[in-house]
Chain A
């Protein structure tokens, strides 16, 4: 580590002349290797950032981005004082917080359980099965959910009822999160399973001989071994709290469950592209991504405090 740091330091200390010489000698690195990625990044990532101006003006296609009338923070004031917006914000937060609460531990528990199976044949077969839903598309998953939960669907046939869960606002989060675990928990467990397979067998045996029961082994031997991966995964998911996926929420929405299923990303899509309210939609989008960045920084900071200065 230290040697590497020193090397980087000496690279930084080069004079301008030395740097120019390097670029001239290694022009291929820039022109052939880096240029395509740079062009794509500038066009498709940085140019749209200029469009953020739209959030502060009454955007008019004919007048363009620089000619349109300036409205300042009007849009921000408008949505921050709107009760609708507050409920969408809360929907977004609740959906991802509850999702994290239920969805985050699920793959860890799965991996710990799989790890207890000593017969590799059975273990492999179970893994093959529980990974499968990951390869089903969001649309098919949501289609299945809608069919199974429809008033004439199999679940109602089984219960002898005709409840229409898809129209119940209070059922939406449960449906969303449960189907998410169904689809993703198995796949997400791979990473933990792989890390657990590196736990030394000697350590586990020593613990058994010392009289540790299974729970103690899990707590003192296996969990510490996967702690780092858990931390990283947690930061990544916590940093995404405000960016709940559009695709699944939108495909599970019905006219009736909107009180809980309308989240910021679907709202931005509807007011922006369907209603053509460009400025307002962009302002909401900016608000969302700023909160997202702040959350990521905050979580990273907290974790690095807890984890002896090691964040992401």
Chain B
């Protein structure tokens, strides 16, 4: 019905003018997204000399898988992947669990001390000790250079707690009353009745947590010196930003000039290898992200 109706209304001439300007802008923006990404992918398959002399080329003879071989044979990249996967999964699991737990009492208006706890949590969103005091504390707690330095400090997220709390409050209170009549205690109600109803918010918090942890590097940079603990982003940082490819990747090349060309090419293939997993996976999770945005805007 409504689709037919929409089609019936003709755009006026001035409207079509405005629209064509608008659509051109949108097309331009979309192209600006695609072109750099496509360039990186194509460039990653080039021969190092071709890339250095003329950029990308579409002659099959100029293509090579050499850079991929070198990246995929590198031990640090794989270790980075493994570490990042471990940090992202573990940190997300811990953080989502603790946040969901804390949000439950905070969702009860009758909770004694609710205002106090609320203030205690909210203050930390806007004010903190800062970099050095936090670092010194972590040092004194002997957490520096351990995985806990990455997993623990962010394990309770106030903003996510507020989102979860809002979500709990949208669930009918009669459910809780009924469970009380049936003799369930809070723990039974929370795990057996409430959580199964909260799958959308759990999915959203988990996805946000995973992506955020996977892509960050600051905490790892200050707390982890041990190369074997470092996540992928730190390995990428030395290759892409500090211009120092893993020595194993180019050690066999004799001339310095050839080495530099290969180092440049390796950047492209490293980007593809490291970004592909999230870029390929995200369309499958998109509906959860869309939902998450709505959950987030409920608060506002």
Contact = CB atoms under 8 A, between A and B. Distances in A.
B271 A116 contact: no
B178 interface: no
Interface residues of B, number: 99
Contacts, number: 266
Contacts of A110: 26, 29
Given A11-B110, A139-B240, A129 B130 contact: no
Given A49-B129, A136-B275, A268-B131, A36 B297 contact: no
A163 to B, nearest CB: 16
B236 interface: yes
B116 to A, nearest CB: 11
B18 A213 contact: yes
Contact of A135 (B101, B239, B282): B282
Given A128-B283, A131-B282, A142-B241, A51 B129 contact: yes
B contact face: mostly helix, strand, loop, or mixed: helix
Contacts of A292: 126
B18 to A, nearest CB: 5
Interface residues of A, number: 93
A51 B111 contact: no
Contact of A33 (B7, B55, B102, B214): B102
Interface stretch (A96-104, A168-176, A187-195): A187-195
B131 A272 contact: yes
B153 interface: yes
A contact face: mostly helix, strand, loop, or mixed: helix
Interface in A286-312: 286, 289, 292-293, 296, 312
Interface of B: 2, 5-7, 9, 11-12, 14-15, 18-19, 22-23, 25-26, 29-30, 32-34, 36-37, 39-40, 43, 52, 54-56, 98-99, 101-102, 104-106, 108-113, 117, 120-121, 124, 126-137, 141, 152-153, 155-156, 161, 185-187, 190, 211, 214-218, 222, 233, 236-237, 239-241, 264, 267-268, 271, 274-275, 278-279, 282-283, 286, 289-290, 293-294, 296-297, 300
Given A29-B111, A49-B133, 6 more contacts: A34-B117, A48-B129, A137-B236, A194-B293, A215-B18, A296-B126
